[in-house]
Structure 1
Amino acid sequence: MFTPQGLLKELAPCRDAPVWWLGLSGGLDSMALLEALTQLRQTHDLPPVQAIHVHHGLHPDADAWAAHCQQQCDARFIPLHILRVELEQGASIESAARAARYEVFESLIGSGDYLLLAHHRDDQLETLLFRLVRGTGLRGLSGMPRQRSLAAGRLLRPMLCWRRSELAAWAVEQNLLWIEDPANRDQRFARTALRHELLPLLRQQWPAMENSLLRLADHVSEASSLLDERAAEDLALVQAEDADEWLAPWPSLELESMLELSPARQSNLLRYWLTKHDCLLPDHRQLREVLQQLPAASDSQPVTLIGDYQLRRSSGRLWLLSRAGVSAGCEQALAAFVDTRLVNGNGELIFRPMPGGLMWRPGKWRIDYRQGGERIKLSGRPHRSLKQLFQEAAIPFWLRPALPLLYCDGRLVSVAGRWNSEDACAAPDQLGWQISWQPAAQDRPGDKGFGRSA
């Protein structure tokens, strides 16, 4: 039986959070959670509660639903944030709406905050069955996690131990008003059909099925935790750590170390690594393709596209990049040594005073990009081609076309500030300029967020 006091026990992990955010659709489940939190606040010292309603605009009554949520929150003196979203085209409506909701949640959650979602036991069972019939891996069989990280905070599902019928019985006792979304009975949606057609038949034929499946999810979750522990140990061995500011934004794995692992550990490590970077996990075919490319010839540059990102083998590493890759730049004039945003979305050049740095002098300055055959004279060294410098520094092939080159009166004087021409620099006791290249945020996996977990 559901009670606010029982809910309080489930909320124990987040009692010290700065804010509790409640995902409020206005349906039975979230309204029960809203009311239970309201009652608990009257007798317990709890974090401040704020609610979030995502307006998808998919139903003619969507405005009325938002107004209902506003009215219910106002009556309980709980602030409500109503955010309208536009769904991406191409994906299923269910998937697009879910992705939009999580984008909203992540935009609001602050450091240490908790997002509370009202998923219940029936939702968990439906999730398991849906993943089974659709096809899933080990992590999918563990169901929706009770809690996980979300943006700068955490997500918690405190109602997974109660059935919907228990929540409904309590909501009726409390005289709650809630919204009935017609989509929840529209069997054109796969999950709705599973809920109203398949699930009742399974319960009738195998009454113990529900407990068996949920127990399986617990066992699988435990096994997944063990696999994650092993993957974390392997990642510490193969993850490339870059002091090089050019390469640090892009995660990579050392191929030589990775190839020392068994195929099963390689597969487990790759899934774990991609999950840490919020990436959609590859299917079986894509995963096999990536693993087959690991021992390829050193001059091979295979690429595997998966969702919004790509895995690219280059310079002895496996790199994680956005699907579009790194933007190639376009020529532009440079009027002065000031922070300069590069055209074609290629990031920014940052200029800072530094003894012995690049000197500004009168002339025609421009920013350009590699065409082939460029050479530069470094301090105490003979002229070198950019190809030689890139090879010596292990700059991967995919990054080279994006590196900004500085020219003065047609002569190459700096390669993105990393290599400066000897006669273009100030003396060690004279002030010049340090130049650094900041790649565009959309090119870097850590800034984009390529996929989301349950």
Structure 2
Amino acid sequence: MAVAFSGGADSTALLLDCVRQWPGQVRAIHIHHGLQDAADQFANHCQQLCEQLQVPLVQCKVNAKNEAGQSPEDAARRARYAALSQAVHTHPALQGVKDVAVAQHADDQVETLLLALSRGAGLAGLASMPAKWTRDGLQWHRPLLNVPGAKLREYLLDAQVAWVEDPTNQDEQFTRNRIRAQLLPALERAFPQFRDTFARSASHAAEAQDILNEVAAVDLASVQEYGSPNIKAVQQLSLARQSLVLRHWLKVQHQTTPSAVQMTELLSQIAACTTRGHQLRLKVGRGYVRREGPILEWSAEN
């Protein structure tokens, strides 16, 4: 078992609990983002605490700067997960690791759901963060999704274990921080059980999305020709199922997600493909969908 260890309260509580449950079997990975002056101090703190706990620590430096059109949070998250996966697969100290634990907790899950609602997300977004998932041949776990952040800090105070505070967590230019500072206290006052009820809603959305994924997989198998969607076969489906199967195709085969506006235009263009001469080349996700004879192809943006 490896724990993604930032040095903050959440990951410190997770690391400490894992060490207590599985002594001698836990390793830690610290991702050095290099985005702020305190990054070196965080790394030093992690090293010292891991030495105290007798936990092997692997430190990885990443370039987490965001590209144009990408939020800093998304860039850091993508860089972090890529680095964690690469470290497990390549670092000798992590040989044999098959499971990685990350420290998102109940408040993080609420923030994710509220962000999804604010963006008009569908079921996939409303499902929020899964407790378990598979990626890059590894099993990933979020064992703290039912635990409020305040409880994790109480746990560390009782254990007399220190953590570091990321100063950016107080910066309300970031949407998550505004939710944490302004909305969660109001929800606590109005709906004391909101963490549990929001988690149930996310779970219901995830269950419904699983069913839709199964339907989409069956539809995709039925409309494919040489591994790509056949236009005429797609046209035979209802609009809702056309949208479902095309989103599934783009996500599963090309790891990209269209916006609502892009999907609406793509469906309109597919409906217009009634003659051989109708051309189609449309920006979708991180690339372009184009017509190649009877089928649809997707290529990444150059």
Normalized against structure 1, the TM-score is what?
0.61
- Confirm or deny: 8 A CA contact 1:55 1:82 kept in the other structure: yes
Question: Aligned pair 1:59/2:59, yes or no?
Answer: no
> Quick one: distance in 1 between partners of 2:84 and 2:250?
21
**Post-superposition offset of 1:278:** 5.9
Identity %: 36
- Confirm or deny: 8 A CA contact 2:107 2:195 kept in the other structure: no
- Confirm or deny: 8 A CA contact 1:109 1:152 kept in the other structure: no
User: Equivalent residue for 1:142?
Assistant: 127
User: Equivalent residue for 1:155?
Assistant: 140
Q: Kindly report which structure 2 residues correspond to 1:28-427, keeping only aligned pairs within 5 A, or say none.
A: 28-42=9-23, 48-86=25-63, 87-90=65-68, 91-110=70-89, 113-241=98-226, 252-277=228-253, 279-295=255-271, 296=273, 297-324=275-302
Q: What secondary structure is seen at the aligned counterpart in 2 of 1:213?
A: helix
Deviation string 1:338-375 (CA, Å, 9 cap, x unpaired) is xxxxxxxxxxxxxxxxxxxxxxxxxxxxxxxxxxxxxx
Structure 1 pair 143/255, CA: closer, same or farther in 2 (3 Å)? same
**Post-superposition offset of 1:215:** 1.8
- Confirm or deny: 8 A CA contact 1:109 1:151 kept in the other structure: no
Structure 1 pair 76/239, CA: closer, same or farther in 2 (3 Å)? farther
> Quick one: distance in 2 between partners of 1:150 and 1:283?
23
- Confirm or deny: 8 A CA contact 1:112 1:154 kept in the other structure: no
Q: Which has the higher contact order (CA 8 A, sep 6+)?
A: 2
- Confirm or deny: 8 A CA contact 2:109 2:129 kept in the other structure: yes
> Quick one: distance in 1 between partners of 2:97 and 2:293?
39
Q: What secondary structure is seen at the aligned counterpart in 2 of 1:219?
A: helix
> Quick one: distance in 2 between partners of 1:183 and 1:278?
33
Structure 1 pair 315/154, CA: closer, same or farther in 2 (3 Å)? farther
Over aligned residue pairs, what C-alpha RMSD do you find?
Answer: 2.0
Structure 1 pair 39/206, CA: closer, same or farther in 2 (3 Å)? closer
- Confirm or deny: 8 A CA contact 1:112 1:152 kept in the other structure: no
Deviation string 1:300-335 (CA, Å, 9 cap, x unpaired) is 3312223422222212111121112xxxxxxxxxxx
**Post-superposition offset of 1:256:** 2.4
- Confirm or deny: 8 A CA contact 1:235 1:273 kept in the other structure: yes
Instruction: Considering fraction of residues, name the structure with more helix.
Output: 2
Deviation string 1:249-289 (CA, Å, 9 cap, x unpaired) is xx522222222211111111122222223633212110111
| Residue identity matched to 2:29 | I
Larger radius of gyration: 1
> Quick one: distance in 2 between partners of 1:76 and 1:310?
50
> Quick one: distance in 2 between partners of 1:220 and 1:144?
11
> Quick one: distance in 2 between partners of 1:303 and 1:209?
45
**Post-superposition offset of 1:41:** 2.1
> Quick one: distance in 2 between partners of 1:79 and 1:154?
20
Structure 1 pair 306/71, CA: closer, same or farther in 2 (3 Å)? farther
> Quick one: distance in 2 between partners of 1:129 and 1:303?
34
- Confirm or deny: 8 A CA contact 2:60 2:87 kept in the other structure: no
Q: What secondary structure is seen at the aligned counterpart in 2 of 1:83?
A: strand
Q: How many correspondences in the alignment?
A: 292
- Confirm or deny: 8 A CA contact 1:267 1:291 kept in the other structure: yes
Runs of 4+ in 1 over 6 A off after TM superposition: none
Instruction: Considering fraction of residues, name the structure with more strand.
Output: 1
User: Equivalent residue for 2:92?
Assistant: none
Deviation string 1:65-108 (CA, Å, 9 cap, x unpaired) is 01111122222332222222221332222122112112212323
- Confirm or deny: 8 A CA contact 2:127 2:202 kept in the other structure: yes
| Residue identity matched to 2:172 | Q
Normalized against structure 2, the TM-score is what?
0.89
> Quick one: distance in 2 between partners of 1:278 and 1:64?
39
Structure 1 pair 59/307, CA: closer, same or farther in 2 (3 Å)? same
Structure 1 pair 154/311, CA: closer, same or farther in 2 (3 Å)? farther
- Confirm or deny: 8 A CA contact 1:300 1:314 kept in the other structure: no
